[in-house]
Structure 1
C-alpha cells in the first residue's frame, strides 16, 4: 500500500512545483547566440541583468513566470555589439567642433569653418574630419586662407585619421613653431621653404599643449553624447583606444552614479604619468569598466604618409613615413608592460611598424601565457611577417579602413606590397581570431558598415565590382564573431559578454532585418531597432 501511495503522490508534488521567477522573457525572436556552435534559439529568460536560460519560446514560457514578456515579432536578435577599437570620448568631443567629414574641397572646409564661427563664436576654433584624398586635387592644403580669415584667432583642423593638423599662423605662433622647429617622429610640412600649416604626428603635440582643455561640464556632455550615438547603433561595449587618468576616473564616477550606462574597455594612453599610476594600481574592473591595457602608437597613418614602411612610398620617392614611438622605446615599453598584468595594444599601420611591434611582443612575452596582446590595425604586413600572429597575438582591425583606403592604397604601396594590406582573412587564419572595430570618428560609427566592409569589401555603390582583394574577406559568421565573442575575448571578457548564453550579461540588439541572410547590398541600411543593456531597454 505504501509503495502504491508513493507512486501517486510524487507526480502530484512535481506538478505543483511553482515556476521560477524571472524579470523578462524575450520570445518569438530569430536569435543568433554566437556560442561555440553558432546555435540558434527563439527565446531568452533574463534575471538580475543576466541571461538565465536560452531556448525555445514555448519551453521558456512553460518553465518561468516573467514580470515582463517582450515579443520580438520574429526579428533577428544578436549579442550586444562590441567596437574593439574606437575613440569614444573623442567622438563626444567632436560634437562640439566643426564637422569636416565628407568635405569635397578645401574651399568647402573654409566655408564650414566660417559658418561655424559665425553661429558659435569662439576664441579658439577647432574642427575635425578633412581628408585631402577625397578632393579633386589630392594635395595637402595650406594655411593661407585661414590666415586671411582668422589672423587673430587660432585655428586647428584635424585630419580624419587624427594623425595630421592643418593650423593657421596664429596657432603656430602660440605653439612656438617656426622655420627652425624640428620634431622627431613626424613632419612639419613646408612648401618652397615656408611652413604650410600641416603638421603630421608628433609635431601636433606642440599645438596640443596650447589647445584649451574642455571643462568638466563639456567632458561630461561629450561622454553622454558619445553614449547616445553608440547605443543608437547597437553598440553596448566600446574599446576606447587611448584615455588619460582623469577621463577614466570621470567615466568610472559617471557609471557608478548611474549617469553613464555603456560598458567601456579603456586603453590607457602611453604617458609616463599614466603608466606609473595604472601599472602600480593594477587592473581596474567593474561590470561597466575594464582598465587593463596600455595604448601605444607605433607609427602614423597611411593617408597622411605617416605610416612607417620598409621601402619608400610608391607615390613619394625617398619617403618612408616615421615611427611615432622609437623602436628602442617600443621594446622597453613591452618589457615593462609584460612585467605587469596589463595588456599592450599598439597602433601599427606600415609594414615596418608592424614587424617592430611583433618582434618586441615576441621577445617580451617569452614564457608568458594568455596575455592577449593586440596589434591595433595591423594594416600593412609583409607576407613573411604574418606568422608572428600564430603566437597568441591578436589582430584588432577595422574593415571600413579597407573600403575607405582602397581608392588610393595601391598608389601609396605599389602592386606587390598592397597584397599584404587589409588582410583580415589571412590574419584570422594565423591568429585564430580577429577583433573588429571601426576606429570612429576616423570612420563612421555604424557597426553595420563594419559588417558590410568585412564581407563585401565594397563601398555602398558596390565598387569595385567583385570586391577589393576578396581573398581577405571574412564570412558573415566570422564577422559577427569578430564584433561580439572574439572582441570580448580580446578584452578578457568572454565569460561575461559576447554571446547569448546563461550567466552572461543580457546585452543584446534587435535588428531591422536578418544580418546573416539579408542581401549583402542591404547590410549598410540595417538598424538597431531595440538595444538592451543588462536586460534594460536603452532604445
Structure 2
C-alpha cells in the first residue's frame, strides 16, 4: 500500500511538472516595481516571445511555468525598461568619436584637449568637438577663432557649445564654408566684434552654414558608432529612446539598420522639419515596425538660455536682447494647421517664456485635446501660462539635469523673479497630469538615474545645493519613475505596449544593484545597472 501511494504521488508530481506552461524566461525572488496604475510591487514574472505573460508571487510563477532561462534576482529591484523621452542618437554616436570638452575650465584647457586628440587622429579632415561652456571660465567670454587659429591654422575646426545651440569655428572652417559677416541668417547669428569682423562664434541656424561641410562618414562607420552609442545606453538601463529630430538620410539609415536587426534599442524617431517643408513629410505618412516608429514631427521654436538664443518676453537680465525665434509665428501657425489635419504628432523645442507662450496659444487654437502634442523642454514659462498646459492638453517633455546644470547662472541670466517659472516640473505635472522625462543626451549625460536624482533631489553631481534647487518643483520618486517609464511611453502613444511590467506588454526591464525608490539621494547617481533586457533578451549584463 505504501508503495502504491508513493507511486501515485510521484506520478501526480510528474504530471504536474510536465504540464507547466512553457515560457522563455522566468525571473523570481525580486522586488518588481510594475509601474502599473496602482504602482503595484510584485515578486516574479514569466516571459514568452518577448512579452510578459504573467506577473505575481515567486511561488505562483515557479509553480505554473517552466523555462530554459530562470533568473533568481536575489531580492534585487526590477523596473520597466527605462525610456529616455528626449535624446539624440546620431549626435551621441558622433560624440564618442570627437573631442570631449565637457567640464573644461578655460579656453586653454579646450586647446590642450584638442591637441591631445589630434595626436591620435591625424587622418581626420576636420577636428570636431563638443561640450565647451564659457560660463565655467574665469572671464565667461565666448572663445574666438583667433585662439583656434594660433594652434590650428590649417585644419578646419568645429566645436559645439554644450547646449548644441552655438559653436565656435576657426578661420579655415569659415574659408571652407565661404561665409562672411555680410550674410544674414533667419533664426541665427554670426557673431562679429566691434570692427564687424567675425569672431568664429555661430548661434543656432548660423551653425549649419559651416556644419554642412563636415564629412558624414560611410554607412558602415555610422552603424559602428550607433552600436557603440546603443551599448552605452543599454549599460544604464535604457531600453527605449525618443530620437528628437533626425533628417531624412538618418531616418532612412535607421529603417535599413532596424530591418536588418542591426539595432535593438526601441526608437521613437522624430522627423526634424522646418515649418516651410512639412508637406513632403505629411505626404509620406508614418512608419511603424517592432522597434522603430516614425510618426512625429520635431521643430525648433528658439535657441538656448546658455547662448541667449532662447526667446524671452523681456530682455535677458545680463544682456540687451530678448533672444529670437528661429522662424516666424506665421510660419508656425501655417505648418501647425496643416499638421493638425494629418496623423502626425508634433513636438516643438521651446526654452524661453515667449516661445512657450506662442506655442501654447497656437496649439490651443487648434483644439488638440487628444493629440498629445508636446513642448520639448518648456524651460521658462510665464506664471500665467502654466494653466494652458491643462486647458489645451499640451504635454511637457522635460530634462531634469538641465535644471541642475543651469541653476548656477540662471538668476544672473534671467533674474530671480523669472527664475521661479523656470524648470518648474511639479507645476507642469500639476497642470498636465504627466511629464515625459529625458536626458537630452549628449547635451547632458545619458544616464537616466542622473535625471531621476535631479528630478527628486534637485541637486547636481556633487549633491549640491544641500537644500536642493527650488524644491517646491521637485518630483516624488514615484512621479520621476513614471516619467521615465510609463509616461514617456504615453508621450509616444505606446503605453499599451511598454512602460510598465504587465501582462501582454513588451518584456523590457532593468535590474539595478540598489533600489532607487529607497536609496539615499546622495547614492542615486552611482547605482549600477546589473542587467538590461529588451523583449526578453539580455542586451547588457554587468560583469
TM-score by length of 1: 0.95
Q: Report the counterpart of residue 4 of structure 1 in structure 2.
A: none
Is residue 177 of structure 1 aligned with residue 174 of structure 2?
no
Distance in 2 between the 1:249 and 1:106 partners? 38
* Matching of residues 245-264 of structure 1 within 5 Å: 245-264=248-267
Alpha-carbon distance, 1:273 to partner: 9.6
Q: Report the counterpart of residue 168 of structure 2 in structure 1.
A: 166
Q: Report the counterpart of residue 8 of structure 1 in structure 2.
A: none
Alpha-carbon distance, 1:150 to partner: 2.0
* Matching of residues 46-61 of structure 1 within 5 Å: 46-61=47-62
State whether residues 244 and 274 of structure 1, in contact with CA within 8 Å, keep that contact through their aligned partners in structure 2: no
Q: Report the counterpart of residue 374 of structure 2 in structure 1.
A: 374
* C-alpha RMSD over aligned residues: 1.7
Alpha-carbon distance, 1:252 to partner: 2.0
Q: Report the counterpart of residue 138 of structure 2 in structure 1.
A: 136
State whether residues 314 and 413 of structure 1, in contact with CA within 8 Å, keep that contact through their aligned partners in structure 2: yes
Q: Report the counterpart of residue 19 of structure 2 in structure 1.
A: 18
For residues 502-524 of structure 1, the C-alpha deviation after alignment (integer angstroms, 9 at most, x for no partner) is 00000000001011000111001
Distance in 2 between the 1:508 and 1:399 partners? 22
Question: What SS is found at the alignment partner of 1:427?
Answer: helix
Gap change, CA 1:320 and 1:271, over 3 Å in 2 = closer
Q: Report the counterpart of residue 6 of structure 1 in structure 2.
A: none
Q: Report the counterpart of residue 388 of structure 1 in structure 2.
A: 388
Instruction: Tell me the matched-pair count.
Output: 526
Alpha-carbon distance, 1:418 to partner: 0.6
Alpha-carbon distance, 1:387 to partner: 1.0
For residues 344-373 of structure 1, the C-alpha deviation after alignment (integer angstroms, 9 at most, x for no partner) is 10000000010111111112335xx42100
Is residue 195 of structure 1 aligned with residue 201 of structure 2?
no
Deviates more, 1:205-214 or 1:382-391: 205-214
Alpha-carbon distance, 1:213 to partner: 2.0
Gap change, CA 1:303 and 1:272, over 3 Å in 2 = closer
Q: Report the counterpart of residue 236 of structure 2 in structure 1.
A: 233
Distance in 1 between the 2:402 and 2:285 partners? 33
For residues 236-269 of structure 1, the C-alpha deviation after alignment (integer angstroms, 9 at most, x for no partner) is 0010111112212211222222211000000101
Deviates more, 1:386-395 or 1:486-495: 386-395
* Matching of residues 324-343 of structure 1 within 5 Å: 324-343=326-345
Question: What SS is found at the alignment partner of 1:416?
Answer: helix
Alpha-carbon distance, 1:272 to partner: 7.6
Q: Report the counterpart of residue 63 of structure 1 in structure 2.
A: 64
Is residue 293 of structure 1 aligned with residue 326 of structure 2?
no
Distance in 1 between the 2:336 and 2:367 partners? 8
Q: Report the counterpart of residue 221 of structure 1 in structure 2.
A: 224
State whether residues 76 and 512 of structure 2, in contact with CA within 8 Å, keep that contact through their aligned partners in structure 1: yes
Distance in 2 between the 1:178 and 1:322 partners? 21
State whether residues 245 and 274 of structure 1, in contact with CA within 8 Å, keep that contact through their aligned partners in structure 2: no
Q: Report the counterpart of residue 5 of structure 2 in structure 1.
A: none
State whether residues 428 and 434 of structure 1, in contact with CA within 8 Å, keep that contact through their aligned partners in structure 2: yes
Gap change, CA 1:117 and 1:475, over 3 Å in 2 = same
Question: What SS is found at the alignment partner of 2:278?
Answer: helix
Question: What SS is found at the alignment partner of 2:365?
Answer: helix
* Matching of residues 28-47 of structure 1 within 5 Å: 28-47=29-48
For residues 180-239 of structure 1, the C-alpha deviation after alignment (integer angstroms, 9 at most, x for no partner) is 222121222222222211111111121122222222122112211110110011100010
Question: What SS is found at the alignment partner of 2:191?
Answer: strand
Distance in 2 between the 1:64 and 1:34 partners? 23
Distance in 1 between the 2:445 and 2:164 partners? 14
Is residue 119 of structure 1 aligned with residue 120 of structure 2?
yes
Is residue 88 of structure 1 aligned with residue 75 of structure 2?
no
Question: What SS is found at the alignment partner of 1:212?
Answer: coil
Distance in 1 between the 2:102 and 2:142 partners? 16
Is residue 321 of structure 1 aligned with residue 323 of structure 2?
yes
State whether residues 268 and 274 of structure 1, in contact with CA within 8 Å, keep that contact through their aligned partners in structure 2: no
Structure 1 consecutive aligned stretches of length 4 or more whose deviation exceeds 6 Å: 14-17
Gap change, CA 1:95 and 1:429, over 3 Å in 2 = same
Deviates more, 1:342-351 or 1:223-232: 223-232
State whether residues 515 and 523 of structure 1, in contact with CA within 8 Å, keep that contact through their aligned partners in structure 2: yes
TM-score by length of 2: 0.94
Gap change, CA 1:68 and 1:157, over 3 Å in 2 = same
Q: Report the counterpart of residue 3 of structure 1 in structure 2.
A: none
Alpha-carbon distance, 1:175 to partner: 1.8
Distance in 1 between the 2:497 and 2:283 partners? 26
Q: Report the counterpart of residue 270 of structure 1 in structure 2.
A: 273
Question: What SS is found at the alignment partner of 1:321?
Answer: coil
Gap change, CA 1:273 and 1:266, over 3 Å in 2 = farther
Is residue 280 of structure 1 aligned with residue 283 of structure 2?
yes
State whether residues 24 and 47 of structure 2, in contact with CA within 8 Å, keep that contact through their aligned partners in structure 1: yes
Gap change, CA 1:15 and 1:117, over 3 Å in 2 = closer
Distance in 2 between the 1:133 and 1:218 partners? 34
Question: What SS is found at the alignment partner of 2:312?
Answer: coil
State whether residues 305 and 351 of structure 2, in contact with CA within 8 Å, keep that contact through their aligned partners in structure 1: yes
State whether residues 32 and 40 of structure 1, in contact with CA within 8 Å, keep that contact through their aligned partners in structure 2: yes
Distance in 2 between the 1:240 and 1:448 partners? 19
Distance in 2 between the 1:183 and 1:275 partners? 20
Is residue 455 of structure 1 aligned with residue 459 of structure 2?
no
State whether residues 97 and 128 of structure 1, in contact with CA within 8 Å, keep that contact through their aligned partners in structure 2: yes
Q: Which runs of 5+ in 2 are unaligned?
A: 1-11
Distance in 2 between the 1:96 and 1:275 partners? 32
Q: Report the counterpart of residue 108 of structure 2 in structure 1.
A: 107
